[in-house]
Amino acid sequence: MVLTEAERVRGDGSGAMFDRIAARYDVLNRLISLGGDRRWRRIAAEALALDGGTRRPPRVLDVASGTGDLAIEIARRHPGAAVQGIDASLGMTEIGRRKVDRAGFGDRITLDAGNALELPFSDHSFDAVTIAFGIRNIPDRDRALREITRVTRPGGRVAILEAGEPSAGLTGALARFHIHVVVPFVGGLLAGAEEYRYLERSIRAFPPVSEFVRTMAAAGLEEVETRSLTFGVCNLFLARPAAASPLGADT
């Protein structure tokens, strides 16, 4: 699915913003997360139990797949799985495709341009759906979560990784200093000041864990579990489509 120019150039956090920083995105990610981002994606990929379905091979959708790191991690951890990625930035997607080929997963991972608000897939078509550091960038989170719920099969898994405000205490204070002072400064030097101020602002603006869990439930997800990673710098949300929900029901 190809996005219109108007869809791609929407404000902060849009595909257009990520097009501008795509070439430096991976390096900056490693740097500003002090290498933690790889570990967080590994934990998310491992949390997908891809054993309960009847579909072979299991199908996983990675929404806002960016440069493909989570899709690659899922392919590594789940040797039988086929992974479809979708992202609003062509620049990020193109870099991702090259990484997928280099990693030798060209036959199991497909990365396409597309919009999380209108996933071009039929209901219940995936055994698991993931989104890493993407939901914060999508203003209409409720709609994106409803789309994610719609395309996940009944009993399937949804895994959401997102940056958060670090917890209280001394370590949390150090982590907050890192996110609110070091990240915009280093990001500004190496990429674009505005883009990395946006990163800091969007983390501050993202709802607390309990509130986001309620948003997930309202979008038709249940059995929501949360895991705080690295003092709450990152949170993993795991859920399933609600059996009683018209979005999650087996029709």
Member of 53, 58, 134, 156 binding ligand SAM (CB under 6 A)? 134
**How far lies 236's CA from each of 24, 46, 93, 98, 153, in Å?**
25, 12, 23, 27, 20
Compute the half-sphere exposure of residue 147: CA atoms within 13 Å on the CB side of its CA: 22
Judged by CB under 6 A, the stretch of 52-60, 83-91, 150-158, 207-215 that binds ligand SAM is: 83-91
Partner residues linked to 87 by β-bridges: 113
If DSSP codes are grouped into helix, strand and coil, which group holds residue 63?
Answer: strand
What is the C-alpha to C-alpha distance for residues 226 and 161, in angstroms, rounded to an integer? 10
Six token digits for residue 4: 């219109």
Single-letter amino acid code for the residue at 137: N
65 counts as binding ligand SAM under rule CB under 6 A:
yes
As measured in angstroms, the least distance from the Cβ of 103 to ligand SAM is: 15
Give the binding range for ligand SAM (CB under 6 A) out of 109-117, 146-154, 213-221, 234-242.
109-117
* Piece in contact with ligand SAM (CB under 6 A), picked from 103-111, 126-134, 189-197, 242-250: 126-134
Is 147 a binding residue for ligand SAM by CB under 6 A? The answer is no
Please tell me the number of Cα atoms within 13 Å of 159 on its side-chain side: 27
Q: Which is nearer to ligand SAM, 144 or 242 (CB)?
A: 144
User: Applying CB under 6 A, does 70 fall inside the site for ligand SAM?
Assistant: yes
Least distance from ligand SAM to the Cβ atom of residue 39, Å: 12
Identify the residue among 32, 81, 87, 108 touching ligand SAM (CB under 6 A).
87
Helices (H), the chain: 5-8, 15-32, 36-46, 69-77, 90-102, 141-151, 169-177, 183-190, 193-205, 209-218
Query: At 236, is the secondary structure helix, strand, or coil?
Result: strand
Contact status: 235 vs ligand SAM (CB under 6 A): no
**DSSP-assigned beta bridge partners for residue 237:** 160, 226
Rule CB under 6 A: is residue 43 a binding residue for ligand SAM? no
Q: Is 138 in the site for ligand SAM (CB under 6 A)?
A: yes
Least distance from ligand SAM to the Cβ atom of residue 218, Å: 19
In the complex with ligand SAM, which residue's Cβ is closer, 32 or 247? 32
- Asked if 137 touches ligand SAM (CB under 6 A), the answer is yes
Q: How far apart are CA 72 and CA 102, in angstroms?
A: 11
Neighbouring C-beta atoms of residue 99, cutoff 10 Å: 18
Residue 158 touches ligand SAM, criterion: CB under 6 A: no
Stretch in the footprint of ligand SAM (CB under 6 A) among 11-19, 151-159, 171-179, 240-248: 11-19
187 binds ligand SAM (CB under 6 A): no
**Is residue 234 a contact point for ligand SAM (CB under 6 A)?**
no
Burial 178-188 (b: 16+ CB within 10 A, else e): bbbeebbeebe
How far apart, in whole angstroms, are the C-alpha atoms of residue 241 and residue 129? 11
Query: What residue ranges bind ligand SAM (CB under 6 A)?
Result: 13-15, 18, 64-66, 69-70, 87-89, 92, 115-117, 132-134, 137-138
